[in-house]
Structure formats: structure tokens, C-alpha cells
């Protein structure tokens, strides 16, 4: 947008024609005299960059708006240098109403981009003076979502305590706000997310927790996956259609909310919630968070050729009661790295015990003809050796500790 006139408009839930006109006329005064319709506005916005954020709000206000924008693109903006950028945080609405082949705008886009959360190591840019341990704690709350990262103030635990005490804290309603963007009735979806947040990861476990039939559950899970609230994982050695699939909450903020906010809404509402209820359990919660961090760490090491081999696949493995946190594979070279992840401080004897257990479990993975390597990623390790990493090793990525 540098050196180009542009209009940025954040759509709201109503009266957008009037509000857009006011914003656009600040950039192009002629818009102020246009008829109050979108075609007339864009007639005066030719060769400009026009950015409409939260476009789904326009669709909610007027379901025919997408057809209107089709006419604008085909007629008003034809043979012009106008750049029209449509943004939206509702994955389902942007996919169905804007990007799908059924959309009137189908075939008219020049590019599309789905923004992903920032990676763990990007949090260093937000908190350059914190230790890696403190950054992991924050990541457990914010994930890589810039909106939440910008809300956090330091010291983190003091800010969080104060946020829980606010009568108007965003924490109370944030999940409902997010879900209503995607679903008309959030009740069943919230029950499923609650089940997953408390460790019910298989179809049977989720079904038993919320007491519904298998067939009734499947469409809800499909919608949660499509809107990226939930991710389905399979053992790294299995195909995507494996019947061993498990379901996990995709981002840390949603997991945090269902673990700590949802069960305590009454206490939060009354202003009597004690932050120590979270602090006492937070290390347990960070176990799964740190697995995500460890996976990203290994991927970064892999990019830098700092492992015994270059892997092309990485993920968890499980079979019945046996689990390995991460298995990295190079199937062409037949090499495998098995890794246990622990959000704890390990002594040498703990490391030895973990490695022996890891070797035993690795024999059950079915990679008999693979060269095997074994590693550990932990919060802190006493007497480290090759392929044994802790938070201090994050500096190997060229970042300050």
C-alpha cells in the first residue's frame, strides 16, 4: 500500500453503507456525493486499493452483497488498476460465500491467503527480555494469535490475575464471540470442545462424555475441523484415513479457555476467582503445549541441518497404551528419530530411564529396518548429551536466550 491511495474499512454488524461512505470520502472526497450504494462508491474508487476487513459482517447484513461485489468487479473495476482486498476471520463464511465455486465471486480472485498463527519462536519479537520458560507460559495462553499477544502485559501472571478480576474481562465471552462467527448454535460444539480439552480424544471418549450417538457427533466434529477449532491427528506411521485418529484442540487459547475459564465462570463473574487455581495446575497443562513447542524446535533444527539426518515427516505415534511424543522420519533413507518431551527438570537418572523406555517403545513402531536415534526435549536437563535438548538450546536457532 506504500505510495498508493487506499481505503481501509472494518465492517461492523449494521449500517455499513453509511459508515463506509464516511471512511472512503476521507480518501476520495467525491465519494461523499455518491448515491448510497456500493456500485456508486466504487465508481469513484477506481485505481485505488480498497480493503474491507471482516467482510462476513457485510454478508450477515445483506446476503446478496457477494453478488453486488461480483457486478462491481465485472463492470466498475474492469480494466482498472483497483485492488480489492476482502478479509474475514470467519473461516466458514469466507470459504463458503467468497472462495467456493458456488460463490458469485468464484474465479475472480487473483490471490488468496489463509493466515496461520505465528510460530512459537516469533514470540521472542513480542517479549525480547523474557526467558524461554516465561515465553512458553505465555504461549500456553496466547498461542501465536497476535490479538492475544498484544493484550498481554508484563509481568504476565500479574496481568492475568488483574484481567480475571475485571467485571468486563474479555475472557468471559471471548469463546462465544469466536464460535458465533462460525456456528448458529454453539451448544453442542462447546460440549465437544470441553470434552477434548479434558483429554477425551477419541470418538468413543467424546461420544461417552457428551452422551450422543456416533452418527450425531461426526458432522459437528467435521465442522470443528473445517473451522480449525479442532485438528485430527493420526500416528505418524499411518495414513490420514487411519481409524486410530484422535482429536485435539487446535490453538492454545481455546484449550486454556475450556480448562480454566469455562469451569470457573461463576467465580469470575463474582470477582472471587483465585489465579492460584491456574498456577497450581499450569505445569500439567503446559505438558501438551510444550510438545507443540518441541515439534517446532525440531523442525527448526531440521531446516538448519542440525540433526543426524533430514526428516520429511514428524508427528506423534501411539498404539493401544504405548505412546511416543514425536517421531521424525526419513522414509527414503530409512532413518527415524524418537523423541520424548517433558515439561520438567530432568536429572541424569531420569534421562537414562526415559531413553530406555523410548528404545523399548520404538521397537513396537514397526520400523525394524530403520536406523534409530533417540532424543529428549525438556524444560531443563542435567548433564546433557547429544540429542538431549532443553530450553537453553533454543539459542542454537540464532535467537537470544
CB 294 within 8 A of CB 387: no
308 backbone dihedrals φ, ψ, rounded to 5°: -65, -20
CA distance 221 to 183: 12
* Grid cell in block for residue 253: 487459547
Cell 465485472, residue? 74
Half-sphere exposure of 197 (CA within 13 A, CB side): 20
Q: What is the DSSP letter of 97?
A: I
Q: Where in the chain is CATH 3.40.1350? A: 290-397
Topology annotation, domain 153-280: Arc Repressor Mutant, subunit A (1.10.10)
Q: Which residues contact 132 (CB under 8 A, 6 or more apart)?
A: 391, 392, 394, 401
Q: Where in the chain is CATH 1.10.10.10? A: 153-280
186 backbone dihedrals φ, ψ, rounded to 5°: -95, -5
- Answer left, alpha or beta for residue 383, where phi above 0 means left and psi between -120 and 50 means alpha: left
pTM of the model: 0.91
pLDDT tens, per residue, the chain with 401 residues: 667 789 999 999 999 999 999 999 999 999 999 999 999 999 999 999 999 999 999 999 999 999 999 999 999 999 999 999 999 999 999 999 999 999 999 999 999 999 999 999 999 999 999 999 999 999 999 999 999 999 999 999 999 999 999 999 999 999 999 999 899 889 999 999 999 999 999 999 999 999 988 778 999 999 999 999 999 999 999 999 999 999 999 999 999 999 999 999 999 999 999 999 999 999 999 999 999 999 999 999 999 999 999 999 999 999 999 999 999 999 999 999 999 999 999 999 999 999 999 999 999 999 999 999 999 999 999 988 899 999 999 988 875 44
Torsion from C-alpha of 165, 170, 171, 175, nearest 10 degrees: 160
CA distance 226 to 148: 22
At the second CATH level, the architecture of 290-397 is: 3-Layer(aba) Sandwich (3.40)
Burial of 163 (0-12, 13-18, 19+ CB in 10 A): middle
In this structure, the number of other CB atoms found within 10 A of the CB of residue 137 comes to 20
Amino acid at each position: 500500500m506504500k505510495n498508493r491511495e487506499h481505503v481501509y474499512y472494518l465492517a461492523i454488524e449494521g449500517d455499513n453503507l453509511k459508515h463506509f461512505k464516511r471512511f472512503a470520502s476521507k480518501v476520495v472526497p467525491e465519494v461523499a456525493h455518491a448515491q448510497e450504494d456500493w456500485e456508486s462508491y466504487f465508481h469513484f474508487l477506481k485505481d485505488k486499493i480498497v480493503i474491507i476487513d471482516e467482510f462476513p459482517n457485510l454478508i450477515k447484513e445483506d446476503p446478496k452483497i457477494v453478488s453486488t461485489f461480483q457486478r462491481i468487479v465485472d463492470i466498475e473495476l474492469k480494466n482498472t488498476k483497483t485492488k480489492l482486498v476482502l478479509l474475514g476471520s470467519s473461516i466458514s463464511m469466507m470459504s463458503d460465500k467468497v472462495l467456493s465455486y458456488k460463490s458469485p465471486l468464484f474465479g475472480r480472485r487473483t490471490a488468496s491467503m489463509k493466515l496461520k498463527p505465528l510460530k512459537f519462536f516469533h514470540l521472542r519479537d513480542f517479549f525480547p527480555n523474557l526467558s524461554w520458560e516465561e515465553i512458553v507460559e505465555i504461549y500456553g495462553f496466547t498461542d501465536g494469535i497476535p490479538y492475544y499477544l498484544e493484550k498481554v502485559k508484563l509481568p504476565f501472571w500479574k496481568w492475568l490475575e488483574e484481567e480475571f478480576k475485571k467485571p468486563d474481562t474479555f475472557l468471559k465471552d471471548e469463546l462465544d464471540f469466536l464460535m458465533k462467527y462460525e456456528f448458529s448454535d454453539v451448544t453442542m460444539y462447546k460440549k465437544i470442545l470441553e470434552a477434548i480439552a479434558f483429554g477425551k480424544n477419541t470418538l468413543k471418549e467424546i461420544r461417552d462424555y457428551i452422551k450422543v450417538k456416533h452418527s450425531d457427533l461426526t458432522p459437528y466434529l467435521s465442522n470443528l475441523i473445517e473451522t480449525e477449532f479442532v485438528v485430527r491427528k493420526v500416528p505418524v506411521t499411518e495414513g490420514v484415513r487411519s481409524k486410530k485418529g484422535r482429536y485435539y484442540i487446535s490453538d492454545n487459547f481455546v484449550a486454556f479457555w475450556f480448562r480454566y475459564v469455562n469451569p470457573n465462570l461463576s467465580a469470575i463473574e463474582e470477582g472471587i476467582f483465585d489465579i492460584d487455581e491456574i498456577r497450581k495446575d499450569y505445569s500439567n497443562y503446559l505438558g501438551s503445549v510444550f510438545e507443540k513447542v518441541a515439534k517446532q524446535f525440531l523442525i527448526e533444527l531440521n531446516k538448519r541441518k542440525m540433526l543426524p539426518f533430514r526428516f520429511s515427516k514428524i508427528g506423534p505415534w501411539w498404539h493401544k497404551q504405548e505412546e511416543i511424543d514425536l517421531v521424525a522420519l526419513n522414509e527414503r533413507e530409512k532413518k527415524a528419530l524418537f523423541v520424548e518431551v517433558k515439561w520438567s527438570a530432568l536429572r541424569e537418572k531420569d534421562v537414562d530411564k526415559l531413553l530406555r523406555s523410548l528404545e523399548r517403545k520404538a521397537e513396537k513402531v514397526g520400523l525394524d529396518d530403520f536406523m534409530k536415534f533417540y532424543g529428549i526435549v525438556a524444560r531443563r536437563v542435567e548433564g546433557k548429551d547429544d540429542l538431549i535438548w532443553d530450553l537453553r538450546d533454543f539459542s542454537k536457532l540464532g535467537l537470544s536466550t
